Amino acid sequence: MPATWASLALRSPGWILPFPTCDSFRPERHPRLTTSIEIDHQWVIELGGLGDTYADAEEIRDELLRLVYGLWDHTKNHCEKDREKAANYALAWVGHVAGKRENRRLIGDYVLTQNDIGNRTLFPDRVAFGAWSVDDHYSGGFFHDGATPQRAINPSGITWGRPSRSPSAASIRKTSTT
């Protein structure tokens, strides 16, 4: 199967997830065709929240590939809005290592909370800073029944701190060397 599918009469492989019409998508999931190299809309293409992202990593990756190539097939072959514009577009690259979100949690002496980030807490014993937002990710990912998450905590990216009491497991006795 050609990796690019550029200006070729694309014949969909049988293993992709089919999206034969624009109505096949849940709200806000229809792929967006961009005309630049900017990253747009890929963040809604997420899966794995219902599985163990360590034990099921290969199955989740395979399902993500089925999804990505199904979206590309829709854009190239079925989308009334974008099919003509996408005729000479190429799918240049698809990652084969799925990113992981939080799946294991070490409970430290202090558990950093959403409120700490939202309140932009700068702890006196901070050892790291963050400036990214906290947003919602539904377990169903791309196939979540509702709209995509719109709520973000600290959306402006103002700095918050991570205390030294947070990143280490409470079950491990703290030691120091001199």
pLDDT band at 119 (very low <50, low <70, confident <90, very high): confident
CA–chain centroid gap for 153, Å, is 17
Segment 94-109 shows an average pLDDT of 74
Query: What integer best gives the mean pLDDT of the chain?
Result: 78
The pTM of this model reads 0.73
88 Cβ contact partners less than 8 Å away, ≥ 6 residues apart: 6, 7
3-state secondary structure of 63: helix
Residue 49 has what pLDDT? 75
For 30-51, the pLDDT digits (tens) are 887 766 655 555 666 888 678 8
Distance CA 148, CA 157 (A): 20
Q: Which residue has the higher pLDDT, 144 or 16?
A: 16
Question: How many residues in total does the chain contain?
Answer: 178
User: Which DSSP string do the residues of 96-154 spell out, in sequence order?
Assistant: SS----S------SS---HHHHHTT---TTEEEEE---EE---TTGGG-SSPPP--EES
